[in-house]
């Protein structure tokens, strides 16, 4: 049985519950409706839920629609959500202000259902197209997993979260052993298939949905492990190493084994304000180098602490 496609979510923001009910009555058959009766509540909902469009009343007490739109567009988590203002104000200056703040459209009161539906449909379709393009820009074309751009954004985001929450963060960098020799022996087509198989197994082996596996470049892959201590990171890395070996992809040119293996460098740290993230990444890379220098098909893991600052 084919699963039903998930309906787009529309957040209706109006201080009058009767207005929310009227808009929901027009749109509920086609969309999932969320509601908020104030600007602060709208921001909280947009951050907590997957929202595809905000229908925003301009005239609200306290934080009005303009201020709410400005806050939505200034937050990295909500700035890409399209906003349509719903207002009885029809002066050009009001519309201009809304567009300057990042709104994509206006719907005038009194509401004409056919016009509301058409403008909402256009906004949702545009959002879906943008989401698809964004996903493609974050995906490695060969393996289908996250690419380096997505990895860098994810690491930055979770580094900052770890700083605020005072939780550990682990990073694993892995390299397919003697991959150049693999390509030379079996050809680049087989090499591409090897990369796809390894990526598929890595993605399946990650511990949680909150972890990220990405192609770092060439035959290197990286796994970001938020809220994971050194012991947990080492267990995951060893499981990954064993599962790649268990694929039993023949590699007659390897000087380590008769099939494809990986070397993995792992480091764990407790991110703090002012700590150089690049120095931590370098420590992970050094551990990968040590794993390769130590014979390959092995894991090298350390706990990393930022060097103390010298006070002059």
Q: Give the active site residues.
A: 219
Burial code of 4-13, b = ≥16 C-beta within 10 A, e = fewer?
eeeebbbbbb
* 57: β partners: 86
Nearest 5°: CA angle at 155, between 154 and 160?
100
Report the distance separating Cα 105 and Cα 155, nearest Å. 34
For residue 217, give every residue at least 6 positions away whose Cβ sits within 8 Å of its Cβ, in sequence order, or none: 148
Whether the Cβ atoms of residue 260 and residue 251 lie closer than 8 Å to each other? yes
Report the distance separating Cα 81 and Cα 102, nearest Å. 10
Report the distance separating Cα 231 and Cα 90, nearest Å. 62
Report the distance separating Cα 288 and Cα 217, nearest Å. 14
C-alpha 253, offset from chain centre: 37
């Amino acid at each position: 049985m084919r699963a039903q496609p998930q309906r787009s979510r529309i957040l209706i923001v109006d201080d009058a519950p009767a207005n929310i009910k009227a808009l929901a009555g027009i749109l509920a058959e086609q969309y999932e409706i969320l509601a908020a009766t104030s600007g602060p509540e709208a921001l909280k909902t947009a951050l907590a839920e997957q929202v595809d469009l905000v229908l925003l009343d301009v005239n609200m007490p306290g934080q009005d629609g303009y201020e709410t739109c400005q806050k939505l567009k200034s937050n990295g988590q909500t700035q890409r959500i399209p906003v349509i203002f719903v207002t009885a104000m029809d002066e050009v200056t009001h519309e201009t202000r809304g567009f300057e703040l990042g709104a994509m459209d206006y719907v005038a009161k009194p509401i004409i259902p056919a016009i509301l539906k058409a403008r909402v449909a256009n906004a949702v379709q545009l959002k879906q197209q943008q989401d698809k393009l964004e996903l493609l820009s974050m995906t490695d074309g060969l393996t289908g997993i996250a690419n380096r751009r997505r990895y860098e954004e994810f690491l930055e985001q979770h580094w900052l979260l770890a700083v605020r929450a005072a939780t550990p963060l682990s990073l694993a960098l892995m390299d397919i052993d003697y991959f150049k020799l693999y390509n030379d022996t079996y050809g680049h087509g087989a090499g591409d298939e090897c990369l796809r198989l390894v990526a598929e197994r890595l993605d399946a082996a990650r511990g949680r949905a909150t972890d990220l596996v990405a192609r770092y470049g060439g035959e290197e892959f990286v796994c970001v492990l938020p809220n994971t201590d050194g012991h947990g990171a080492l267990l995951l890395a060893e499981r990954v190493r064993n599962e790649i070996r268990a694929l039993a992809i023949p590699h007659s040119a390897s000087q380590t084994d008769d099939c494809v293996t990986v070397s993995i460098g792992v480091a764990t740290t407790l991110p703090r304000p002012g700590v150089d993230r690049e120095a931590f990444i370098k420590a992970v890379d050094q551990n990968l180098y040590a794993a390769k220098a130590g014979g390959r098909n092995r894991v090298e893991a350390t706990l990393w602490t930022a060097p103390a600052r010298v006070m002059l």
